[in-house]
Structure 1
């Protein structure tokens, strides 16, 4: 793995929306989180593809790809972030000059949802470690839950060292409207427990497994798997090394969710997997037990696997989110519904 340098005070963060941009009604929130980066001691570069949104994107694909390439090739920049996810980040992948990117300094690339589309491409094509974590628009300086407030602390971890995270005790069922409440923090009201799909460890037993992390939003990864842009065993993981896949569902219905998981299984994605982490399912909010639901789809798709499958993990569109490093060697523990993950940057 190629781990970018640990971030520190004075590190340069470039912000560009290579998927959805930020319309004017959310500019107050954008200004708030950008100012928060400055107050943390970072130098901030704001891209041109950011403060507009038309037909799901901040700008035409060639403009978004050009700006992203410029930031990736600028070795003064240490971190690249997008404001949030979107729908069609996939359309910039073929427009990037991957051969040129082989020669530049690795940079931390951060975010989740549609951002994970590009995270996986960078890890697969370049062998860089990338960071699946809270998006910039959620990173207000006033947000104090430990998973969110420590994102930059985790990215200050030197290669060869490790950091540990414990599961959140509560999650946010519905996010705030930043157009009305630009300084909002998470409303973490619902009890959170990691659960095991196919073991008897939910209540009294302990479960533990290890492997290299790889994953993202299943909405896009179900179609990217097997391409150059999500090929974990090409640059990210040795073919015989154990893997921990993690996925979160943004918008798929239960039947679409089943097909996505089943497709990955049929393609052999889990052949060398030590375990699978499934995030809280925002598409299932309040609907479990109403006919064919997300949990039934999950059991139908993955219930026959002989590896641990944990679900309702802190990986999703329902905050807070773990910071997961694609390519890091992770050890996962589940004891009485409380999860813990340690990642070593090796």
Structure 2
């Protein structure tokens, strides 16, 4: 059974950096995000790790884990949102106290998705893959990003519907900031392998493939054990996004996931838009998707709103999802059951 936290009004957000912290010259981003969230009625508690960054991490692995553990135990903190992702969260994973985590939302993506997936697989506590803290610093959020509050406020037994974005951001334009942070200029169009409309149903699991692949073969990546213990063997729908991998590295990673049993009883896979997916020779990312679809005999949807090319739908690890792709538009219904 999946345990779903629930976000209440006037909640306190704990901000800790289990991966990268924020260097001094960018502390203004934290203050602006804090001000924006306070205007919405939230209280903000910052951990020490948030304010420092050295040698590709906010602090030592033990300090990062200890601060996260403390915030998960603190009854005055209702939700945890790291400032952003990073590179070396995996160093801290063995020091996370999975046996004593209170049920509360953890929201983020990129390197943080490794922690999110590990929590859900180990404990059955649902986790939220979506926006990070610094991207909530705008005067308001675009409709897709803003849905994080509705999703996290849903109660056990309820369903929440999200739709694909109207437009997405192709590249950052820091010289021309917008009230909602992102410069949404490109028409969003979700795609399938054969160009047909698609329906997929199952339990959601996923994250940034660059990092979650490193859970394979560890005590924190036991997907089949999770299926038996928490979802009664139901089928899984994977949502994945590629931050920096070439097409061949992506292919190797997906094959490793397949060989590790992660795609057993898989109902379908969704891939986010990617700034990477660089071709190797004439080997394109569409080739990767097509080959995987044929091997697993499952539908694959790609260029969805997930990952490093914003905006993002808020996907809940562990939730039951009904996903529909119709003429380039996507609908995701998540049910907390």
User: 1:107-138 CA deviation, whole Å, 9 max, x = no partner?
Assistant: 10100010011001111111100000011111
Q: 1:119 aligns to what? A: 116
Are the structure 2 counterparts of residues 189 and 200 from structure 1 closer, same or farther at C-alpha, using a change threshold of 3 Å? closer
Moved more, 248-257 or 144-153: 144-153
Give unmatched runs, 5+ long, in structure 2: none
8 Å CA contact 1:175–1:318 kept in 2: the answer is: no
The 5 Å alignment of 1:184-223 reads 185-197=181-193, 199-201=194-196, 206-223=197-214
Are the structure 2 counterparts of residues 181 and 52 from structure 1 closer, same or farther at C-alpha, using a change threshold of 3 Å? farther
8 Å CA contact 2:5–2:126 kept in 1: the answer is: no
TM-score normalised by L of structure 2: 0.93
* Match status 1:225 vs 2:216: yes
8 Å CA contact 1:29–1:182 kept in 2: the answer is: no
User: 1:18-60 CA deviation, whole Å, 9 max, x = no partner?
Assistant: 1011112211121111111111111111000011211111111
* Match status 1:271 vs 2:264: yes
Matched pairs, number: 335
Q: Secondary structure in 1 aligned to 2:110?
A: coil
The 5 Å alignment of 1:53-202 reads 53-101=53-101, 105-177=102-174, 185-197=181-193, 199-201=194-196
Q: Secondary structure in 2 aligned to 1:304?
A: helix
Q: 1:258 aligns to what? A: 251
User: 1:196-253 CA deviation, whole Å, 9 max, x = no partner?
Assistant: 12x440xxxx321210000111011222134321223323543631110110001111
TM-score normalised by L of structure 1: 0.91
Give the Cα–Cα distance (whole angstroms) in 1 for the partners of residues 2 and 72 of structure 2.
15
User: 1:240-275 CA deviation, whole Å, 9 max, x = no partner?
Assistant: 311101100011111111101111122222120111
8 Å CA contact 2:190–2:302 kept in 1: the answer is: yes
Give the Cα–Cα distance (whole angstroms) in 2 for the partners of residues 255 and 290 of structure 1.
10
8 Å CA contact 2:164–2:330 kept in 1: the answer is: yes
| Runs of 4+ residues deviating >6 angstroms | none
Give the Cα–Cα distance (whole angstroms) in 2 for the partners of residues 33 and 165 of structure 1.
24
Of residues 322, 327, 337 in structure 2, which corresponds to 1:331?
322
Are the structure 2 counterparts of residues 153 and 259 from structure 1 closer, same or farther at C-alpha, using a change threshold of 3 Å? same
* Match status 1:344 vs 2:335: yes
Q: Secondary structure in 1 aligned to 2:311?
A: coil
User: 1:85-112 CA deviation, whole Å, 9 max, x = no partner?
Assistant: 00110111111223333xxx30101000
Give unmatched runs, 5+ long, in structure 1: none
Give the Cα–Cα distance (whole angstroms) in 2 for the partners of residues 153 and 227 of structure 1.
34
Q: Secondary structure in 1 aligned to 2:41?
A: coil
8 Å CA contact 1:261–1:298 kept in 2: the answer is: no
Give the Cα–Cα distance (whole angstroms) in 1 for the partners of residues 54 and 207 of structure 2.
25
CA RMSD in angstroms, aligned pairs only: 2.1
